[in-house]
Structure 1
Amino acid sequence: MFDFLKKQFIDVIDWIEQPGELAWRVPFDGREIQTGAQLTVREGQVALFVNEGNLADTFEPGLHRLDTANLPILTSLMNWDKGFASPFKSDVVFLSFKEQHGLKWGTGQPVTVRDSELGALRLRAFGSYSFRIAAVDTFVERVVGTLESVSVAALEPQLRAAIQTAIATALGGSGVPFLDLATSQQALSERIRVEVDKAFAQWGLACLSFYVESISLPEDVQAHLDKGSSMRVLGDLGNYTRFQAAEAIEAAAGQDGGSIAGIGAGVAAATALGGAMAQGLGASGLGSQGLGAQGLSGSTAPVEDPIATIEKLHKLVTLGALSQEEFDAKKGELLSRIR
């Protein structure tokens, strides 16, 4: 009979938390807490006594004996006498104050921002962040409530939504062009962390670290930027043609024992491509940048069959080195010569 009655009372209370757990309500199953019971609060934890939804006493890490002396708020709420020694009921909630790190975030949908150089852009980004509980009262009221437990996994969808809004705010007000973001990524990460921290505060959380690991454009926009970069890298078409010829010679030298015929074919192909590029870009006024009055070889370029030239220019359109408008203009000019 004594053992049966003993099981009706709780005399040891502790929590061995698992990774990713933020809060746990002790399941008493109708049993009462024995006066003088032992409460163990481990490092990085805090134990809260809650009476009818109101926060009462808080216990920091350590070993505690529960009586009226160290439960002053609960004693007052329950109107206990100083020498009260009977079993009692109360909700006990453990919280983990450990930093929850290594969490990943990413923009599920592109974030639209106004770039000072490129205009309206739709950006995607991803990275990592960490947080911990900062305000006990707010966290218990806004998150825990009457739940039996709270985990990081349960909160992540809500946190990621707040992060996406913070990113739009930070990027929109940064004033840093997209092409310069890579050089100021650390400052950008800190700017976004501040905005994320403000959003997390509504749940009693603090964002301790935030890292932007990558920011990217939609594939079609990135392709246009790459094309523009390629054209700028080409620069002087004369130099580009010489580079192509050298590449062709090296490739031919490695095939068929480096025969003269193979080398000659490579040089001819490179020269033909350079000539077609020069004629095609000349129609839009770009040819003067690299060719000048001397042409590719330093003398007047030989007259070429217009139909063959059109075919070469069409290949440039296919490669993306020449726009359709430039091709159409040059094509009309060449066809007018043979009518």
Structure 2
Amino acid sequence: MGTDNLIFLEVIEWFDESGRELVHRIPETGSGEIKWGAQLTVRESQAAVFFYNGRACDVFGPGRHTLKTGNLPILTKILSLPWGMKSPLRAEVFFVNKKVFPNLKWGTRDPAAFRDSELGLIRLRAFGMFNIRVLDPLRFINELVGTQGVYTTEAIAEYLSSVIVSSFNDYMGENIDTIFNLPARYSEMAEALQNLLQGEFSRFGLGLDELYINAITPPPEVQKAIDDKSRLGVFSDLNSLMKMKAAMAMENASSAQGEAGAGMGMGVGLMMPGLIAEAFRPAPSTTTAPSAPAPAGNCPACSRPLPSESRFCPSCGHALPAKSLCSACGASVPDGAKFCSACGVPVTAPSFKNCAKCGSANPSFSTYCNRCGERL
């Protein structure tokens, strides 16, 4: 037999040198004449799907497989003669990488509207990562890959990211009331989203291994409003907050002056401690302290001040002269008053009686002498 009649066996295999390819097609473009008896080598983390005449014939697992009559037609150059030595019986092999592909990024391209119970209608951005793996190679090729020669993680991550964002928006609207409660619920939300997305990913022959939420952020103006609100909890009133903002503005202005404004920057630096101390100083109390009783004059014996309504000097004990008193209730009556301010009885000239011991005058209703305490 001459060498012209020999048909050499083919070896079909694929190495993923980039580490980012999900699917690799052999040949990458068009289709090929895979000969009878060709050797197909599939590695541990791969699966190979053999297509013949546009249909998937078989899925091969790890190992070395010989393509024979059962899964490949017998092609010879003789059968190719009517088509110009090119056989119409075309075949191709898709290698599918079944390892876990980690750290694929997802995120909102445009801010999503969210009705917050405390802030009203705001817009949010969300970012995170997810891990995937191919579970059903044949379904994955038929649903997503099609006839592409190479299908990388970058090509599929953009589409899967849009699927995740859609479910994220639905979950936020149904389960979250305010963004102030978000930081403590990232893990809970990620787990709930992963469960929601498992069915959607399995429709493409994929498995969602993990999903992470890195951040959910409002626009800068909403973040500024939240920061201002948190500062109000530190300072006693709005005046202190405004003083602090003025001090910060002056500090920023001084730092931007450069060499030409070095003197101004030094002056502002000297003013900063006083401004900050003023901002943290407690606000003055609005309650009025009780005033001390007005003095009623000086004691005739020791000349020391006397509190009002005193009958004896608190310093020396000297009995003080009797004042004008109401004859009905005994309350002090201001000079010139016609009626008692305590009981309303008309004021009459007071009547007195003298103490038999010391001779001092005492009101007629007194039982004991105001000066010596003798019973009257």
TM-score, reference length from structure 1: 0.63
User: What amino acid maps onto 2:23 in structure 1?
Assistant: A
Alignment deviations for residues 105-129 of structure 1 (CA, whole Å, 9 cap, x no partner)? 2212111122333332211121211
CA distance in 2, matches of 1:155, 1:267: 59
CA distance in 2, matches of 1:53, 1:126: 40
Does 1:15 find its partner at 2:8? Answer: no
Deviation at 1:291, TM superposition (A): 4.8
Q: Secondary structure at the match of 1:124?
A: strand
Preserved CA contact (<8 Å) 2:137 2:205 = yes
Residue 24 (structure 1) aligns with: 24
User: What amino acid maps onto 1:124 in structure 2?
Assistant: R
CA distance in 2, matches of 1:131, 1:119: 36
Q: Secondary structure at the match of 1:33?
A: coil
Alpha carbons of 1:5 and 1:291: their partners in 2 closer, same or farther (altered >3 Å)?
farther
Alpha carbons of 1:212 and 1:2: their partners in 2 closer, same or farther (altered >3 Å)?
farther
Does 1:233 find its partner at 2:234? Answer: yes
Alpha carbons of 1:219 and 1:3: their partners in 2 closer, same or farther (altered >3 Å)?
farther
Residue 222 (structure 1) aligns with: 223
Deviation at 1:131, TM superposition (A): 1.0
Alignment deviations for residues 63-93 of structure 1 (CA, whole Å, 9 cap, x no partner)? 222224xx4xx46xx6x8xxxxxx9753211
Residue 61 (structure 1) aligns with: 62
Q: How does 1:114-263 map to 2 (within 5 A)?
A: 114-235=115-236
Larger Rg, first or second structure (1 or 2): 2
User: What amino acid maps onto 2:217 in structure 1?
Assistant: S
Alpha carbons of 1:265 and 1:166: their partners in 2 closer, same or farther (altered >3 Å)?
closer
Alpha carbons of 1:27 and 1:121: their partners in 2 closer, same or farther (altered >3 Å)?
same
Alpha carbons of 1:235 and 1:53: their partners in 2 closer, same or farther (altered >3 Å)?
farther
Q: How does 1:302-317 map to 2 (within 5 A)?
A: none
Q: Secondary structure at the match of 2:200?
A: helix
Residue 287 (structure 1) aligns with: none
User: What amino acid maps onto 2:25 in structure 1?
Assistant: R
Residue 105 (structure 1) aligns with: 106
Alpha carbons of 1:230 and 1:2: their partners in 2 closer, same or farther (altered >3 Å)?
farther
Structure 1, unmatched stretches of 5+, are 81-86, 245-261, 279-289, 301-339
- What is the number of equivalent residue pairs in this alignment? 251
CA distance in 1, matches of 2:271, 2:14: 81
CA distance in 1, matches of 2:166, 2:193: 10
User: What amino acid maps onto 2:222 in structure 1?
Assistant: V
Match of 1:293 among 286, 292, 299: 286
User: What amino acid maps onto 1:115 in structure 2?
Assistant: D
**Structure showing greater relative contact order (alpha-carbon pairs closer than 8 Å, 6 or more residues apart):** 1
Deviation at 1:62, TM superposition (A): 1.0
Deviation at 1:12, TM superposition (A): 1.0
Preserved CA contact (<8 Å) 1:39 1:66 = yes
Preserved CA contact (<8 Å) 1:166 1:199 = no
Alpha carbons of 1:148 and 1:107: their partners in 2 closer, same or farther (altered >3 Å)?
same
User: What amino acid maps onto 2:22 in structure 1?
Assistant: L
Does 1:45 find its partner at 2:38? Answer: no
Structure with the higher helix share, 1 or 2: 1
Q: Secondary structure at the match of 1:171?
A: helix
CA distance in 1, matches of 2:276, 2:210: 56
Q: Secondary structure at the match of 1:122?
A: strand
TM-score, reference length from structure 2: 0.57
Alpha carbons of 1:38 and 1:177: their partners in 2 closer, same or farther (altered >3 Å)?
same
Deviation at 1:14, TM superposition (A): 0.8
Alpha carbons of 1:157 and 1:237: their partners in 2 closer, same or farther (altered >3 Å)?
closer
User: What amino acid maps onto 1:24 in structure 2?
Assistant: H
CA distance in 1, matches of 2:34, 2:115: 60
CA distance in 2, matches of 1:299, 1:43: 90
Q: Secondary structure at the match of 2:36?
A: strand
Identity fraction in percent: 31
Deviation at 1:268, TM superposition (A): 8.7
Alpha carbons of 1:122 and 1:3: their partners in 2 closer, same or farther (altered >3 Å)?
farther
CA distance in 2, matches of 1:120, 1:66: 63
User: What amino acid maps onto 1:42 in structure 2?
Assistant: R
Preserved CA contact (<8 Å) 1:197 1:207 = yes
Preserved CA contact (<8 Å) 1:196 1:207 = yes
Structure 2, unmatched stretches of 5+, are 75-86, 245-268, 292-376
CA distance in 2, matches of 1:236, 1:33: 82
